[in-house]
Every structure is written in C-alpha cells, then in structure tokens.
Amino acid sequence: MTKRYDCYTYRITWSEDDKEYVGLCTEFPSLSWLAETPEAALKGIRAVVMEVLKDMKKNGESPPQPLSLRSFSGKFVVRIPPEVHRELAIRAAEEGISLNRFINSKLS
C-alpha cells in the first residue's frame, strides 16, 4: 500500500552554496532537506513531509493534494499581447497547421 507522503513530487538538486544535495517537495515549497548524498536528501525530505502531514492531521488541516493524484484536462489559457498572438498565427499559417498545433509543438 502506498503511503500518502510517497505520492508527492520530490526533486533532488545540488546546492553549490551549501555544497550539499537539497531534497525538495513541489507541493510543500517551504520545505527542504540538505544531505551529503542524493539518496540521503530524498530520505530526509520524505521524512520531513511525513512529519508535516502528521502535524497537519493532528491540527485538522487539509494537506495539499499530490500532483500525481490530480486530473489534468489538457487545456489552459495563456494571455499574450495581441501582436504576439498575430505573429504566432502567421507562423502557424505559414507552416500550414492550426495555431493550437503550432503552439503545442513549441511547448513539447
């Protein structure tokens, strides 16, 4: 059985300032864990998240939903200046594809 804290999005990166690896959790941006190895950084940030979730439960707080459990529609709205919209539409037309397909190819 998967534990709730295992469903969160973790990332390990190197911190040149600290000369250590940093464990991060996307859903809890204020949390981090420093360690000498990537494995220890992951283990540390997972432990911190687990403790925060326990505290939140004890205090009746709702934890953030893990990104891995969210549903995504595949649609989002982006506001851009009209002149950028025009330029993109022209480029899509020049390539003989829809604006949606052109933008999708640029984002992929």
Distance CA(52)–CA(29), nearest Å, equals: 12
Total structural domains in the chain? Answer: 2
* Residues 77 and 29 occupy one common structural domain: no
Q: What is the dihedral of CA 96, 101, 103, 106, to 10 degrees?
A: -90
* Residues 34 and 62 occupy one common structural domain: yes
* CA-to-CA dists, residue 67 to 14, 41, 63, 95, angstroms: 23, 20, 12, 35
pLDDT in tens, the chain (108 residues): 566 668 999 999 999 999 999 999 999 999 999 999 999 999 999 999 999 999 999 999 999 999 999 999 999 899 999 999 999 999 999 999 999 999 999 999
* Residues 88 and 58 occupy one common structural domain: no
Could you tell me the residue range of the domain that residue 95 belongs to? 72-107
Residue found by looking up tokens 């969160």 in the block: 8
* Residues 33 and 11 occupy one common structural domain: yes
Residue 49: which CATH number? 3.30.160
* Residues 53 and 21 occupy one common structural domain: yes
